[in-house]
Each structure stands twice: as C-alpha cells, then as structure tokens.
Structure 1
Amino acid sequence: MINFKRLHHIQLCIPIGDEDKARDFYGRILQLKEKEKPEALKKNGGLWFDVGDIELHLGVESINSSPSKRHPAFEVENILEVKEYLKDRGVKIKEEIAIPNIERFTFTDPFGNRIEFMETT
C-alpha cells in the first residue's frame, strides 16, 4: 500500500543559462520566495522557490530535451517498501542524486511522464 502524504514539489524547466530571467519572473513578478538548493544539486543549475506549502523547482535543460526533467514529486511514507512494491510490479526505478535528509527515486509512467517519490528522513 502506498501512503501519500502530500505533493512536495513540481519541477518545470527553463533554458540553460536563463536563471536570472527566471528569478526576475518568478521572484520579482510572481513574488515567490527563492530558497537555496542542496549543495549536491547546485552544479545542475536552476532555482527553487516556495509556493505555499509546496516547492517549485526550475531545472535547466535544452529546449528539446527528451526525456524532460519535468515532474511532480510526491512525498510518501515507507519509501523503501514502496520502491520494492513498484519493482515487484515491473516498474523500472531510477536512483537519483543523494541529498541530505531525503530518500528519493524516480520512475516513468506508461506514457513517459517522470514521477518522483520521496520521503524526508
């Protein structure tokens, strides 16, 4: 059984090198508060913002990247059990870069959409 806690974040994508333009739009115009990315992910570029009780992650990628980094991230309970549950049902799991206090992995649905499951530790 998968126990969903909440939608944690949504990732959208911006062109490589457009962080200042995104910061102007999302920070200045939409008035979202920028938050610091974990050190291990800073090298990837992009920005993170708080939006109410979820986060908006802006990743960088080439305009025609396939597959895209865009995805929702769901916070779940007992993530290791969930991972095994999905594997047992033929879902191919991709381990992601480790970041402090978060266990996470991604997978794609049958339609090519990337989905992240995560649990704070």
Structure 2
Amino acid sequence: MIQWRRIDHVQVTIPPGEVDAAREFYGEVLGLTPIEQPDSFGDTDTTWYRAGDVEIHLGVEDSDEQSRRHPAFEIADVAAARDRLEAHGIETVDEPPIPGRERFSFRDPFDNRIELLQRA
C-alpha cells in the first residue's frame, strides 16, 4: 500500500499574459512568501510561493493544453508506489528534478494529474 504523508504542493494555472496580476494577487493580496524554483525548471513563467508548510506553484497554461494543474502528495516510498501503479496498468511520467525530492506523476481515469514524491 502507498503510505500517504501530506500534501507537498498544489499547482495552480493562470492564463497567458496574467503573470504580473497573479504575482500581485498571490504575493501582495494573499501575502504568500515567494520561494525560488529549482534551476531544472529553466526560464519558465512559473512562480512559487509558500503557504505554511505547503507550496503553491503558479504556471502559465493555455486552455487548449492538457492541464498541468495538480496536487502533489508526499509519500513514504515513491519507488514502491510507482511499481504498484504501473502493475495496475497506470502510465507514470518522470517530472523535472527538484533537489531533495524524488517524484513522478500520473493521470487518474478522469485525466486529473497527480504527483507523488518522496523527500530525501
């Protein structure tokens, strides 16, 4: 069985051209603390914030794309969880590296993206 620990982060999407408005809302209005995103994400229109012990990741998304919106759950053993899902015929996808986190994602039967990760 998968040993669930907590929500690690939530990915929220914003439309193209609204990065400044999103930064003002999440940073100024909500008062969330900006945090640096890993270099592995390159020069993307994403902004990360901390809300207590949970991260909020904002990413630009065109409505014609398959959505990147997702919750990310911290679990005890990411390799065992991946093996279990793949044994049930669920396709898993490697995600860009985040230092100190081993992670992957998958889609549920309703096309919702879910990320599972294990902290080092």
What is the TM-score of this pair, normalised by structure 2? 0.94
How many residue pairs get aligned? The number is 120
What is the TM-score of this pair, normalised by structure 1? 0.93
Question: Any idea what SS the aligned residue of 1:2 has?
Answer: coil
> Could you tell me how far apart the structure 2 residues matched to 1:65 and 1:20 are?
22
**Match of 1:10, as an amino acid?**
V
Pairing 1:8-87 to 2, within 5 Å after superposition: 8-62=8-62, 64-87=63-86
Unaligned ranges ≥5, structure 2: none
Q: Percent identity?
A: 42
Quote how far apart the aligned CAs of 1:60 are: 1.0
Q: Which moved more, 1:31-40 or 1:16-25?
A: 16-25
Unaligned ranges ≥5, structure 1: none
Deviations 1:3-31 (A, max 9, x none): 01100111110123432211111111111
Structure 1 partner of 2:114 = 115
Q: Which moved more, 1:110-119 or 1:41-50?
A: 41-50
Deviations 1:43-72 (A, max 9, x none): 22211111111111101111x133101000
Q: Aligned-residue CA RMSD in angstroms?
A: 1.2
> Could you tell me how far apart the structure 2 residues matched to 1:71 and 1:44 are?
18
Structure 1 runs of 4+ with >4 Å offset: none
